[in-house]
Amino acid sequence: MFPSRAQANHRSPPRAQVGRWIEPHRLPPYPSRSMSSPLRVRIAPSPTGAIHLGLARTALFNWAYARGRKGQFVLRLEDTDRARSTRESETAIIEGLRWLGLDWDEGPELGGDYGPYRQSERIDRHRELMGSLMETGHAYACFCTSERLSEVRERQQAANETPRYDRCCREIPIEEAQVRAASGEAFAVRFKVPTGQTGFQDLVRKEVVFENGEIDDWVMVRQSGDPTYNFVVACDDADMEITHVLRGEEHLVNTPKQVLLYAALGVSAPVFAHLPLLLGKGRKKLSKRDGGVSLSDYRDQGYPREAILNFLCMQGWALDGETDVFDLATFVEHFDLEDVSRGGAIFDFDKFLWLAGEYLHKETDEVLAEHCLPFVVDAGLFNEVDLRARWDWYLSVIAMEKERIRIYSELPGRMAYLCAPDDQVEYLPKAEKGARKHEGRTQTLTDYLAWLPEHSSKPSAELAEETKAWLAEREQKIPLLFQPLRCALTGLPGGPDLFEVMDALGQAATLDRIRAGVERLA
RNA sequence: GGCCCCGUCGUCUAGUCUGGCCUAGGACACCAGGUUUUCAUCCUGGCGACAGGGGUUCGAAUCCCCUCGGGGUCACCA
């Protein structure tokens, strides 16, 4: 049969199944997919890193498609690359998707009727299917060495041909192959691509057809005994009765290989839907160099969760061409694969920020305060206990600064001036310049400092009116006082109503800051 | 390079299947004006696209052909 050299030293379970011929008719039966069987979709991320925005989008579309059609959504971990797969990444993916608000019906941490849900744990089944495919003549052992393979590739490239396997081992008689394998010669298993054409239904791109002559006799199982992605993904999708495969367009060219495999396995292929790629600035696949490509980047920067979800919905899909802001329920209700756009689109970071602001501004002060709290603490402005002890004050700051921030992490920068020492408020150049352009600033500020204590106990709106009246009496324009005052109080060129700022500062700090301002702006 | 996918304002997108309602709509960005003590918000306005060329048709963003452009993929990675 086909024991391999790898059998002895490979750390995976013994390959007992490999050489066990299974009669085709004894293949474990695949449940037939009748019209009444439920729609089943899945995502199959490899746990090798953080959640990329593309994965988040794919997950969201799968989830919405299932939820909108009473289907089931499955999470399966593609951990075939053992060197790169980690449990930390697995946990991060599960937590990240949960944080987004997605839920799935079956998964590695949940179990389900089609488990296990880690590809590495399905290895016996993959070997079983490999064996039967060899038995039925759909796959064959390839004894070529990697040296020979690269030689062939180089020769093809030199001749300007498409590099592909020359099918050298394809016609080796099965008896001979068995003898060579038994003698310990290493081999990989390749799929025997038939002649003809392979087409499939793609709900986004209609029908797609490939010439089989263009398809390589691809490797299903490596010499090491490890199956490859194209092999296991189709096996698992078949076993799990996945009915619709929604994934990124980079997988489009893999699809005919998988479709051929389904046919060899004797099962019908699922319906596909290849989603347009998320692109970076240069119209190339969005990658790390584009910055901020992980879901966690946005969570950590304080993008509202609903804004992230909403924006993800718009990556390849539009509600009506008019409405940009809509919730998940609306998405689930209206989402259809036929409406997914075909062209890849550049990820618009500007619009994302804008949308974040739309959601942030809709939050109540209380909710926003909670969302911003960790960022304020992280910035070192307050510890949580102190901040909670003066919650009403914090809420007033939130109300005051709300319209100027779009993401939670922007608050600490906006309110930092409130925490500065009163004689050392950092004056931004633009603010100081604006203050200094008024000739009578020092005198006006000094006079105001004298006038203020008797009036500052009044509500801010009233104080504002009285201050303006005071200025009118002196026949002075408003900016003459307000610009130096703003600089003294906040050091910023813009910001909330000055009298609300005074409220937040308190009388003592207000007076101290004006006093310091008289000197510093002299 | 082969194969495959795609092509509407700077960007995202509606309209394309089922030609006429398109003088091509909306949003972000940008610019100008208004509101405001400033910034922000908000309001008003502006800028700005059917890749190109041939057909078919009374009529084409929409159907057909060609060209050009962009992307994806060509592993014993996933």
Q: Which residues in A310-339 are b (16+ Cβ under 10 Å) and which e? A: bbbbbbbbebeeeebeeebeebbebbebee
Q: What is the distance between the alpha carbons of residues A449 and A440, in angstroms, rounded to a whole number? A: 14
Within A266-390, residue ranges assigned H as helices are 295-300, 305-313, 328-334, 349-362, 365-378, 384-389
Question: Rounded to the nearest 10 degrees, what angle do helices A441-451 and A478-490 cross at?
Answer: 80
Nearest to A451 by CA among A463, A439, A461, A460: A463
Q: How far is CA A373 from CA A302, A369, A389, A405, A407, in A?
A: 11, 6, 13, 14, 12
Q: Is A472 helix (H, G, I), strand (E, B) or coil?
A: helix
Catalytic residue among A70, A284, A285, A288: A288
- Closest nt to residue A478, judged CA to C1': B37
- Closest nt to residue A321, judged CA to C1': B14
- Closest nt to residue A205, judged CA to C1': B5
Q: What is the distance between the alpha carbons of residues A155 and A209, in angstroms, rounded to a whole number? A: 29
Q: What is the distance between the alpha carbons of residues A243 and A237, in angstroms, rounded to a whole number? A: 8
Q: What is the distance between the alpha carbons of residues A193 and A260, in angstroms, rounded to a whole number? A: 8
Asked whether strand B has any atom less than 7 Å from the CB of A326, the reply is no
- Determine the distance between A310 (CA) and B5 (C1') in angstroms: 26
Asked whether strand B has any atom less than 7 Å from the CB of A341, the reply is yes
- Determine the distance between A231 (CA) and B21 (C1') in angstroms: 52
For A396-449, give the DSSP string: HHHHHHGGG-SSTTHHHHHHHHHHS-TT-PPPPHHHHHHHHT-TTHHHHHHHHH
User: Residue A160 has what pLDDT?
Assistant: 81
Q: What is the distance between the alpha carbons of residues A271 and A249, in angstroms, rounded to a whole number? A: 14
The pTM for the full model equals 0.91
User: Residue A36 has what pLDDT?
Assistant: 58
- Closest nt to residue A232, judged CA to C1': B78
Q: Is A41 exposed, middle or buried (0-12, 13-18, 19+ CB in 10 A)?
A: buried
A443 contact partners, CB below 8 Å, separation of at least 6: none
Amino acid at A192: K
* Strand B close residues, chain A 69-98, CB < 7 angstroms: 78, 80-81, 84
Q: How far is CA A333 from CA A203, A340, A409, in A?
A: 18, 15, 32
Tokens of A366: 């209380």
Asked whether strand B has any atom less than 7 Å from the CB of A200, the reply is no
Q: What is the distance between the alpha carbons of residues A242 and A475, in angstroms, rounded to a whole number? A: 79
Asked whether strand B has any atom less than 7 Å from the CB of A381, the reply is no
First vs last C-alpha separation in chain A: 95
Residue A73 has a CB neighbour count (10 Å cut-off) of 22
- Determine the distance between A202 (CA) and B59 (C1') in angstroms: 33
pLDDT in tens, chain A (522 residues): 343 333 333 323 222 223 322 223 223 333 344 455 799 999 999 999 999 999 999 999 999 999 999 999 999 999 988 888 999 999 999 999 999 999 999 999 999 999 799 999 999 999 999 999 999 999 999 999 999 999 998 888 888 888 899 999 999 999 999 999 999 999 999 999 999 999 999 999 988 999 999 999 999 999 999 999 999 999 999 999 999 999 999 999 999 999 999 999 999 999 999 999 999 998 999 999 898 899 999 999 999 999 999 999 999 999 999 999 999 999 999 999 999 999 999 999 999 999 999 999 999 999 999 999 999 999 999 999 999 999 999 999 999 999 999 999 999 999 999 999 999 999 999 999 999 988 888 999 999 999 999 888 888 899 999 999 999 998 989 999 999 999 999 999 999 999 999 999 999 999 999 999 999 988
User: Residue A431 has what pLDDT?
Assistant: 94
Is residue A370 within 8 A of residue A394, CB to CB? The reply is no
Nearest to A281 by CA among A292, A270, A272, A294: A292
Q: What is the distance between the alpha carbons of residues A293 and A30, in angstroms, rounded to a whole number? A: 39
User: Residue A74 has what pLDDT?
Assistant: 98
Tokens of A205: 């791109």
- Closest nt to residue A222, judged CA to C1': B76
Asked whether strand B has any atom less than 7 Å from the CB of A352, the reply is no
Q: What is the distance between the alpha carbons of residues A522 and A518, in angstroms, rounded to a whole number? A: 6
Does the active-site annotation cover A288?
Answer: yes
Q: How far is CA A101 from CA A63, A95, A96, A104, in A?
A: 10, 10, 9, 10
* Strand B close residues, chain A 257-276, CB < 7 angstroms: 276
- Determine the distance between A228 (CA) and B76 (C1') in angstroms: 8
Tell me which protein residue sits closest to nucleotide B28, measuring alpha carbon to C1': A351
- What is the β-pairing status of strands A345-346 and A278-279? parallel
A491 contact partners, CB below 8 Å, separation of at least 6: A417, A420, A425, A426, A427, A428, A431, A432
Residue A215 has a CB neighbour count (10 Å cut-off) of 17
Asked whether strand B has any atom less than 7 Å from the CB of A213, the reply is no
Helix, strand, coil tally for chain A in percent (to 5): 50, 10, 40
A437 contact partners, CB below 8 Å, separation of at least 6: A483
Positions in chain B where some atom is under 7 Å from a protein CB: 1-8, 10-15, 25-29, 37-41, 70-78
- Determine the distance between A164 (CA) and B74 (C1') in angstroms: 8
